[in-house]
Amino acid sequence: MLLTLSGSLSNVQQSFRTNSPTATEFLDMLQVEQPPGRTTVQNEWNAFFKDDWKVTPSLTLNLGLRYEYYAVPYEANGLTAALAGGGMSAFGWSGRGWNDYWAFGPQKGDLTVVEFIGPNSPNPGKQLYKDDWNNFGPAAGFSWSLPWLGKDKTTIRGGYGVSYIGQGGRGSAIDSSIGQGPGTLDQQTFTSSQYLDLSRVTLPLQRNRPGRTIPITERTQSIDGWDPNLVNPYIQSFNLSLTRTLRQNIALDLRYVGTKGTKLYGSVPINQSNYLTNGLLEALNITRAGGDAPLFDQLLRGLVINTGQAPVGSGGVTRSAALRQSNTFRGNIANGNYTAVANSLNASTLVNGLGGGLIRNGGFPENFIVNNPQFNNATL
């Protein structure tokens, strides 16, 4: 209360970025540019041909072909941040593909590293994903005036066409993905347990270096990967109508209109916490029911989970009981929110202040709960 009334700050934060793909140190945000930002580029072009063919006086066909090209997006100043080794490097420790999903065990892949690629970067021949060149979209339609029930009184029309979708409507997602990857920006926080005013803070705060490999003990940042075989989605549009002239100025029109999207853009979170295939589900069910799970004996051995309590395994303190009494875990255990419990177990800094300390304390592999233990979130 006294700190609040005196105007003490809780903490001071400072953000840093880089304005060059070869920079060896981060700059203050105001040194980069004003306002700080990125220039994302995606080139696109298209061409089409269409023609009407009057087969008979009552039947007309409309035929055409459209071609669309959407280039791979990049940052104009060489600051396109991508995963070294391609999008599947998002799996990091666990490997390089979907077969490694929730396959916890010894390290199979290198740690995930971000590099600058594309025009004006140190890797101009690399891009986020392959070019998609085969975006041909046929179009066909017809109009037929039925010879029955009166001349030119009843007409059937129909059409079908294919069109493609670029990345144009996903600007903010692209900017976030390729412009703000780990190792391309840095944020530091200064915190004091005593009275804190700006006169006690030395700026700039100590910062990391650009392009650093995020340590496996951090587990706080997020990362995005791009499918190396990403292609442009396409939309099929089709319609069929029946028009009947009832009187000189009255007509009845009945239509069916449909669209179908294929290969639409999407993202998959690959760092969802696993409690289904590693024994955590069974251990949490036992703990929730008031029992003691051997898995937590191993995970928490020798640790002080609750203030004023003896280490787990001594002084009558049992494994699961410590979790049930913990302010961090007890609410989620009682409510059956096992995802939240797994998240907390994975990111806990209880051991030596390092993320993943509980996992290592129990002798489990780093990816025991998440595929890529370097990060909090990983998305493909």
Average pLDDT for 4-22 = 76
Please tell me the distance from the alpha carbon of residue 188 to that of residue 262, in angstroms, as a whole number.
43
Which range (1-5, 13-17, 138-142, 318-322) has the least confidence? 1-5
Average pLDDT for 16-32 = 78
Q: What is the pLDDT of residues 218-252, one digit of tens each?
A: 999 999 999 999 999 999 999 999 999 888 888 99
Other C-beta atoms within 10 Å of 275: how many? 19
Element (H or E) spanning 235, and its range?
strand 234-247
The residue among 109 and 187 whose pLDDT is bigger is: 109
How many CA atoms within 13 Å lie on the side-chain side of 289? 9
Please tell me the distance from the alpha carbon of residue 325 to that of residue 318, in angstroms, as a whole number.
11
Other C-beta atoms within 10 Å of 345: how many? 26
Q: What is the pLDDT of residues 160-209, one digit of tens each?
A: 999 999 887 677 778 778 877 787 778 888 877 677 777 777 777 878 88
pLDDT value of residue 288: 96
pLDDT value of residue 313: 63
Buried (b) or exposed (e) across 219-244, using 16+ Cβ within 10 A? beebbbbbbeebbbebeeebeeeebe
Residue 88 main-chain phi, psi, to 5 deg: -70, -10
Please tell me the distance from the alpha carbon of residue 251 to that of residue 246, in angstroms, as a whole number.
5
pLDDT value of residue 289: 95
Domain limits, the chain: 1-267, 272-380
pLDDT at residue 34 greater than cutoff 70? no
CB–CB of 271/336 below 8 Å?
no
Q: Helices H, strands E: what count in the chain?
A: 9, 15
HEC states along 113-178? CEEEECCCCCCCCCCCCCCCCCCEEEEEEEEEECCCCCCCCEEEEEEEEEEECCCHHHHHHHHHHH
Please tell me the distance from the alpha carbon of residue 380 to that of residue 177, in angstroms, as a whole number.
10
The confidence band for 36, taking pLDDT boundaries of 50, 70 and 90, is low
The confidence band for 9, taking pLDDT boundaries of 50, 70 and 90, is confident
Q: What is the pLDDT of residues 302-357, one digit of tens each?
A: 888 777 676 766 666 678 988 998 888 999 999 999 999 999 999 999 888 899 99
* Cα separations in angstroms, 217 against 51, 114, 213, 340: 63, 17, 11, 19
pLDDT value of residue 5: 59
CB–CB of 298/362 below 8 Å?
yes
Q: What is the pLDDT of residues 52-81, one digit of tens each?
A: 999 999 999 999 999 999 999 999 989 899
Q: What is the pLDDT of residues 356-378, one digit of tens each?
A: 999 999 999 999 999 999 999 99
Please give the share of the chain, as a percent, with pLDDT higher than 90. Answer: 61
Q: What token pair was written down for 234?
A: 């396409």
CB–CB of 105/366 below 8 Å?
no
Please tell me the distance from the alpha carbon of residue 178 to that of residue 380, in angstroms, as a whole number.
13
pLDDT value of residue 157: 97
pLDDT value of residue 20: 82
Please tell me the distance from the alpha carbon of residue 196 to that of residue 200, in angstroms, as a whole number.
7
pLDDT value of residue 166: 87
Give 297's DSSP letter. Answer: H
What SS3 class is residue 58? coil
